Structures are given as C-alpha cells and as structure tokens.
Amino acid sequence: WHLFGGKNKKSIKKILAIAGLDASEHISDIHHVGFPDEEYIPVSGEEHKVHWLINKLFPYILLKNTQHREVYADYFKTACEGYKNIALIDVGWMGNIQSVFARSLGAQWAEKQIHGFYLATFAGANDNRSIYNKMFGWLTNYGHPNDKCDLFLSGGVEIMEFAMADNTGSTIGDKKTDNGIIPVREDSSGSEIEYLKKAARLQSGIISFFEYVKPLIQKGNYAALSSVVLSEPFFELIARPSSVQLDALSSLTHSESAGSNAERIVLAKKLPLKDKLFPGENYIKELNASYWKEGFKRINRKKFWAKYN
C-alpha cells in the first residue's frame, strides 16, 4: 500500500522507482496488467492492477534490493555487534523501520532484545512486534486510545513530523566507501528548505521547554512528564485550532515519503470564496485530500470573517 497510497497520487514510473525498478525496462508487464504507459497515474478502483503489477515484478524487486540490503545490513550488524539490548528512538507510527532493522541482523536477531520508543504507534505496529522486537508509544500505543489515534490520522502525523523535521535531508540509500558505509541524502527542494526554516523556529521552542523542565527530570520527578497532561495542547491544536494557529500552520507542506520532497502537498488548502459559500463536490474532494481535516474546515468556513480563539 505504501508504494501507491497517500494523498499525492503517483505514476507507475514513480511507484516502480520506489520499489527500486526502472519502469522503462518493464513496459510489457505494465501493458499486460492494463496500464497504457509508465507515466499513467492509477485512479480509484485500479488498486488491484497495481497489486498485480507488483506481484508480477516481485522477483525483480527482490533481486534489485538484495544489493541494498547487503549494504545496510552490514552497517547495522557492525553498529550492534557486542550489544544485547538495542533501543531505537523515533517519531513512530507502524514500526516498519524497526522491523526491517531487526531482520537485517540475520541470526543476531534472536540473540538480542530490541526495543523501540516512539511518540506514537498505530494498530498496524502489531504486525511488526514479536518477543524479540518490542515497541512502545508514548501518546498512542498500538492505536490506543482510539480518539487520540484518530486525531493523529486527521493531521497530527504531519504536524508532529514537522516538529521533528531534520535539516540533514532524507536518507534515500547507502553506499560503501573506504571510510565505511555512509548514507546517501536526498537534495532539499526549495519548498522543503522553507519548511525546514519554519521547523527550526518551532524546535527552538521545544528545546526551551526541555531546558525549563530539565531540573524536574534530573530530580527523578518523571510524573511531570505525563503523556496525558503534556499532550493536551497538541491534541487541542489538531481538533480545535485557533485563527492564529491556522495562519501559522495551515499553509505548511508535507512530503509522504523519502525521495518525494519536491512533491509536497499543503496541509489544509484554502479554497476560492465560492466553494466556501456553496460547498459542493470540489469542497468534498479537497477535504478528503487534505491532511489536516479540522484545519481545512476552519479556513474554508462559510463565515470566513469569523475568528477562532
């Protein structure tokens, strides 16, 4: 699903590129499943054709990605050598990276206890956990509580990833050099550079907060870090944003995957006045396509002059 799902619809060429293949080398298979060419963008109802194509090409995908696996597997094995307990810390969601990491260790996997600590994990993370591979979400854990998970899926994911954005660029591969294995970074697009500048301003506030609570942590007062208490403003932002928050965040853009930073989509698109006053088919289409649902509804309200406190 991650190959062709999401808000930003992908061409067959892009889908196969994510899987590591050059679409121009598989034109006959593309035609066989019913797509006209590699530039075609599948529409709703054609998901089964994409699955069919991926299944047909799966041996090529395995062969192509074996080369990449050998590189990053060596990197992980070297990093973990001599350690029994391994901790991964990340923003979260499904645990796919942790699962790939664990499998890359080969026989070492059964000899280690791998724990992932995340801001949130969703129900899909259940598919990736085992007695050797455990995950813990701070704000939502395996999709619970449900109401908080729903808010994450209605704009919370994109805003949280904005807060955690890294200005070193997305890793899109690895390569061996004389100095060891190094990551290959994606070049930042112009829109991403602006995005990262805004993220840096938010992150300076996050750092200031932790400097403020540092004395509490040093004294072992961990109750002060209750996820229920500290997350209230975040979930309030997602569910009931003020006009100031809408102005600051609704125009942010989001990239759905590594390698797609030039294809960013706004969190909540502002519609023409006629679509606000007479919401119809276009309004519904854009609402469904938006990341931040409540943000979209509020910036496109009929009473466009009204303010939210």
Q: Tens digit of pLDDT for each residue in 286-306? A: 998 888 999 999 999 988 887
Task: Flag whether 32 is in a domain.
Answer: yes
Instruction: Examine residue 135 and state whether it is found in any structural domain, yes or no.
Output: no
Range of the domain at 21: 1-81
**DSSP character string of 260-294:** -TTS-EESSPPPPHHHHHS--HHHHHHHHH-S-HH
Single pTM value for the model: 0.78
Beta-ladder partners of 130? 133
Q: How confident is the model at residue 165 (pLDDT cuts 50, 70, 90)?
A: confident
Classify residue 261: in a domain, yes or no: no
Type of residue found at 102: A
Q: Give how far Cα 112 sits from Cα of 100, 182, 221, 302, Å.
A: 15, 24, 31, 57
The fraction of the chain above a pLDDT of 70, given in percent, is 93
C-alpha span between 284 and 279 (Å, rounded): 8
> Residue 237: inside a domain, yes or no?
no
pLDDT tens-digit readout, 35-57 = 999 999 888 888 899 999 999 99
Domains identified in the chain, total number: 1
Any domain includes 42: yes
Residue 168 lies in a domain: no
Residue 70 lies in a domain: yes
Would you say residue 177 lies in a domain? no
